[in-house]
Structure 1
Amino acid sequence: MPLFLEKLLSVCSGDISSCKEHELPSGFHNYPLINDLMTLLNNRNGFYGFESALHVFPFETVGEELGVIDWNDHRLWIDCYDDLARNALFFAEDVFGGQFCIKQDGIYTFDPETGSFDYLAEDIDEWCKTILEDYEVLTGFPLANAWQKKYGPIPVGYRLVPKVLFVAGGEYEPDNLYLEKSTVAMKARANIALQIRDVPEGSDIQLRVN
């Protein structure tokens, strides 16, 4: 097992799914790092880390736990972003629903409020190393910890979403967060991302929230 993958798994939960036999849909083979992802999921088929701030999807859906296959069904939420969220394979998320994904040249983050991708690591092992080195920022652990101390555990299938969007100046504070179903949260923020996609940085904008 790659070094940093082993280190990350040592501080995370056990498998979400006990299944170890995976058959990839044809479209998944288009990603050069798909074997890296399969190594991850074959060693730990979905898991939580840092008090549920990090959520790695299992390969297949298990009850309320959506799997990678279903999470990447474009009809679920990806198409809501028009073309902004395409050409990526989403496999994990932070406490706010910010996504980690595979693209053709590495591992990226995807901001659900802006629909923007940012390069993070060249492969899964480097992603694990980066998470371990900067987990407070990359997973939102401090806020996950503070919110759960006040309100209780985050249920399966939910993330903490800002009442006032971060992109609109919302504060990174527990009182600005509420529980929302992951799919609902992604669809709602897709609406925002499409409104601001062509707005120059620093410009004023009046957001319409459905």
Structure 2
Amino acid sequence: MTRLEQLISRGRSPLGPPVSVDLGAGLYGELATLLAHTNGFTVFNAGVQLFHLGERGLGPELRNWNADQTWRHAYGSLTDGLFFFAQDLFGVQFAIEDNSRVCTFDPETGEREVFGGSLEDWADWLLADPDERGAYSFATHWQDTHGALDHDQRLLPRTLFVLGGSYDDDNLVAEDAVTCMLVRGPIASQIHDLPDGATIRFDAG
């Protein structure tokens, strides 16, 4: 089994009915092949969610999620060149960058971290540390304590992590995934280029 097959075998799928789609060559082509095989899935007890394609299905839909009017507009140019295909429990996005690299996108800062050049690399990266990179233990703890998350929900910190918020239950709330991104987008746009340790002041007006 490939690492991607191993990842899928550990999850729950599909999230949508069978699809056949042409997304072009490169990494987009890899994604199309994956969706034709498994149209969306969750893994690590919903710690990671791969979006389904098509109107019918559970959780965010791939094309709608990437539409500017859904949430990307809140981040301005920070999402340029990215196509988002999955997210973790806290809304960290997994994206294809310029159809040649796979990266994470931090919803609180807009920072990117490239970690591979294929979806196989993405699966290998997740499987190397499911708890840290896939939020496995925390997803299990949260749902054992608070009940199952809806497919459209992610966890939003009341005080953002980048502003010193903790990963304690008291600082987290389950919210609609789009709302989670819209809340953090304007903040990420303000602090993206600030140096570490800079004083942050938000305009309440």
TM-score (norm 2): 0.93
1:135/1:208 CA distance change after superposition, 3 Å: farther
Whether contact under 8 Å (1:90, 1:100) holds in the other structure is yes
Query: SS at the partner of 2:77?
Result: coil
Deviations 1:20-57 (A, max 9, x none): 22254xxxx4x731111112111110011111111000
2:116 maps to amino acid: A
Q: Which residue of 2 aligns with 1:160?
A: 155
Q: Which residue of 2 aligns with 1:12?
A: 11
Alignment of 1:70 onto 2:70: no
1:153/1:123 CA distance change after superposition, 3 Å: same
Alpha-carbon deviation of 1:197? 2.2
Alignment of 1:51 onto 2:45: yes
Query: SS at the partner of 1:205?
Result: coil
1:184 maps to amino acid: T
Query: SS at the partner of 2:45?
Result: coil
Identity %: 33
Alpha-carbon deviation of 1:66? 2.3
**What is the CA–CA distance in structure 1 between the aligned matches of 2:201 and 2:193, rounded to whole Å?**
13
**What is the CA–CA distance in structure 2 between the aligned matches of 1:46 and 1:187, rounded to whole Å?**
23
**What is the CA–CA distance in structure 1 between the aligned matches of 2:26 and 2:22, rounded to whole Å?**
17
Alignment of 1:22 onto 2:21: yes
Could you tell me which runs of 5 or more consecutive residues in structure 1 were left unpaired when the two chains were aligned.
Answer: none
CA RMSD of aligned residues (A): 1.7
Deviations 1:169-201 (A, max 9, x none): 111222221011111110110011112123221
Whether contact under 8 Å (2:15, 2:58) holds in the other structure is no
Q: Which residue of 2 aligns with 1:88?
A: 82
Alpha-carbon deviation of 1:63? 5.2
Q: Which residue of 2 aligns with 1:172?
A: 167
Q: Which residue of 2 aligns with 1:37?
A: 31
Tell me which moved more, 151-160 or 131-140: 131-140
Whether contact under 8 Å (2:90, 2:156) holds in the other structure is yes
Aligned residues: 204
1:14 maps to amino acid: S
**What is the CA–CA distance in structure 1 between the aligned matches of 2:105 and 2:55, rounded to whole Å?**
22
Query: SS at the partner of 2:26?
Result: coil
Whether contact under 8 Å (1:46, 1:59) holds in the other structure is yes
**What is the CA–CA distance in structure 2 between the aligned matches of 1:36 and 1:17, rounded to whole Å?**
18
Whether contact under 8 Å (1:17, 1:45) holds in the other structure is yes
**What is the CA–CA distance in structure 2 between the aligned matches of 1:15 and 1:67, rounded to whole Å?**
13
Whether contact under 8 Å (2:126, 2:133) holds in the other structure is yes
TM-score (norm 1): 0.91
Alpha-carbon deviation of 1:65? 2.5
1:82 maps to amino acid: G
Whether contact under 8 Å (2:22, 2:32) holds in the other structure is no
2:149 maps to amino acid: I
**What is the CA–CA distance in structure 1 between the aligned matches of 2:39 and 2:121, rounded to whole Å?**
19
Q: Which residue of 2 aligns with 1:147?
A: 142
**What is the CA–CA distance in structure 1 between the aligned matches of 2:85 and 2:195, rounded to whole Å?**
30
Deviations 1:77-113 (A, max 9, x none): 1111010012111000000111000012310000000
Deviations 1:98-145 (A, max 9, x none): 100001231000000001111021100111111111121112222211
